[in-house]
Structure 1
Amino acid sequence: MKYVDLVKSLEIFGLSDRVTLREIKARHRELVRRHHPDTGEEGDPERIRLINAAYALLREYTDAYRLSFSEEEFYEQNPDERLRMQFEDAPLWGMR
């Protein structure tokens, strides 16, 4: 897998470079419903093949991705918690 293939798959899905697996799956279902030749409004077999190939590549990448449960990654994913941790004892925060 090349990075350009990963970026192209995200473009096919119309997603940014920061997405969750849930967002990838939801977008795949939406695109399949729209483009599937049997049920979709736009029934395009070539487009559905492209969508499924992009989904397979995204799933391959996410399945092999090593998740980080480090404290730094947690606070990057949850910036409100970082602020709460930094300022919880400050009188202006309103906690005390």
Structure 2
Amino acid sequence: MTYADLQEALRILGLGERATLAEIKARHRDLVKRHHPDLENSGDPDVIRKVNAANKVLQDYITEYQFSFTEEEFYEQNPEERLRQQFMDAAMWGKG
């Protein structure tokens, strides 16, 4: 897999640079339902193949992803905790 493959998969699924696993699954499910050939609107099997291939690329990437447990990453994922840590001793916001 290349970075271009990953970007194409995100484009096909209509996802941005950041997405949760739940968002990826929901978007895949929505697109498969929308374009399924068994629907009355006679969905396009080629679109389904592209959507499923894009989902596989993302699932493969997620499976091999190495999570970062650094303090910087923690605060990026939890911005409210960064603010709490920064201002918890301030009289106006926390202890007085």
Task: Give the structure-2-normalised TM-score.
Answer: 0.92
Show CA shifts across 1:7-43 (max 9, x none). 0110111110111111101100000000110137451
Identify unmatched segments of 5+ residues in structure 2.
Answer: none
**Partners in 2 of 1:25 and 1:40 — Cα distance?**
24
User: Structure 2: which amino acid aligns with 1:16?
Assistant: G
Q: In the superposition, relative to structure 1, how do residues 33 and 40 fare at CA in structure 2: closer, same or farther (>3 Å)?
A: farther
Identify unmatched segments of 5+ residues in structure 1.
Answer: none
User: Structure 2: which amino acid aligns with 1:64?
Assistant: E
Q: Report 1 or 2 for greater relative contact order, CA contacts < 8 Å, sequence distance ≥ 6.
A: 2
Task: Give the structure-1-normalised TM-score.
Answer: 0.92
Give RMSD over aligned pairs.
Answer: 1.4
User: Does 2:92 align with 1:92?
Assistant: yes
Query: Does the CA-based 8 Å contact 2:87-2:93 persist in structure 1?
Result: yes
Alignment-derived partner of residue 9 in structure 1: 9
User: Does 2:73 align with 1:76?
Assistant: no
| Number of positions where the alignment pairs a residue of Structure 1 with one of Structure 2 | 96
Give the Å deviation of 1:67: 1.0
Q: In the superposition, relative to structure 1, how do residues 61 and 21 fare at CA in structure 2: closer, same or farther (>3 Å)?
A: same
Q: 4+ runs of 1 displaced by more than 2 Å?
A: 39-42
SS at match of 1:32: helix
Alignment-derived partner of residue 53 in structure 1: 53
Alignment-derived partner of residue 37 in structure 1: 37
Identity in percent: 59
**Partners in 2 of 1:41 and 1:55 — Cα distance?**
23
**Partners in 1 of 2:11 and 2:24 — Cα distance?**
12
**Partners in 2 of 1:63 and 1:9 — Cα distance?**
15
Query: Does the CA-based 8 Å contact 2:36-2:42 persist in structure 1?
Result: yes
